[in-house]
């Protein structure tokens, strides 16, 4: 469902549905914007978070489940809630990874493998029966403030040499990091909405989010 020739901005909501309801209607209606129900939001609100996003957004919706087991059931939950894609953590058992991709293909949504904490993403992909729709290179939020922790763009060309899949860059992405992600071959940049006082990078919720989203779109085009 994603066009490999297009560069996408994925905006992640991680707090509560109140923020979703306040911000989402103001965002540009662009086919290049993907909306994510982040893992903290889903843990707080359940699949209702995905349903609220789907009701307000007619475009592409990602359910950031970070599945680690029970792949088929979790894919079905994401699909029923209206998601176009769901995520699984790359360190999951191989059986779970294969079942996840298989079930996503069966129900018609994209499979995204989040390589958070995975030392060699290419090794994981080579072991799988079929590749996912998207590979996410992810610096975790707990790693953002650690000196020297970076998104591992060195894996982009290694993955692309074997698999024709879009690469997504996530974790501490501001405008500068977005430019680096695109320069290094990523097709998707994931940007978190961040409340004032929280230590992470992204788009602050007390700023003009719609205007900054447009600036990101122009930066990665």
Where along the chain do its domains lie? 8-220
Q: What is the pLDDT of residue 56?
A: 98
Query: Mean pLDDT across the chain, nearest whole number?
Result: 95
Residue range 48-76: average pLDDT?
98
Query: pLDDT band at 64, cuts 50/70/90?
Result: very high
Q: Is 211 exposed, middle or buried (0-12, 13-18, 19+ CB in 10 A)?
A: exposed
For 66-70, 140-144, 166-170, 173-177, which range has the lowest pLDDT when averaged over its residues?
Answer: 140-144
CA dist 162 and 126 (Å) reads: 9
Query: pLDDT band at 134, cuts 50/70/90?
Result: very high
Residue 147 has pLDDT above 70, yes or no: yes
Can you identify the CATH homologous superfamily of domain 8-220?
Aldolase class I (3.20.20.70)
Q: What is the pLDDT of residue 144?
A: 73
Residue range 80-88: average pLDDT?
98
Query: How far is the CA of 202 from the CAs of 32, 99, 171, 191, 220, in angstroms?
Result: 18, 33, 9, 5, 15
Q: What is the pLDDT of residue 1?
A: 78
């Amino acid at each position: 469902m994603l066009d490999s020739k297009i560069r996408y901005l994925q905006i992640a909501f991680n707090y509560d549905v109140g923020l979703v309801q306040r911000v989402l209607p103001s965002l540009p209606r662009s086919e290049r914007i993907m909306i994510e129900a982040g893992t903290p939001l889903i843990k707080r609100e359940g699949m209702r978070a995905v349903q609220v996003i789907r009701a307000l957004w007619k475009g592409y919706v990602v359910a950031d489940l970070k599945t680690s087991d029970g792949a088929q059931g979790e894919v079905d939950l994401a699909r029923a809630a209206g998601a176009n894609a769901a995520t699984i953590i790359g360190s999951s058992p191989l059986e779970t990874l294969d079942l996840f991709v298989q079930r996503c293909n069966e129900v018609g949504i994209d499979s995204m493998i989040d390589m958070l904490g995975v030392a060699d993403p290419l090794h994981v992909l080579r072991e799988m029966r079929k590749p996912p729709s998207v590979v996410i290179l992810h610096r975790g939020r707990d790693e953002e403030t650690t000196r020297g922790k970076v998104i591992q763009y060195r894996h982009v060309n290694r993955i692309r040499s074997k698999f024709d899949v879009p690469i997504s860059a996530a974790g501490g992405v501001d405008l500068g990091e977005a430019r680096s992600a695109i320069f290094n071959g990523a097709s998707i940049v994931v940007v978190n909405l961040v409340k004032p006082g929280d230590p992470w990078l992204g788009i602050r919720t007390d700023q003009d989010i719609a205007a900054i989203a447009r600036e990101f779109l122009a930066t990665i085009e």
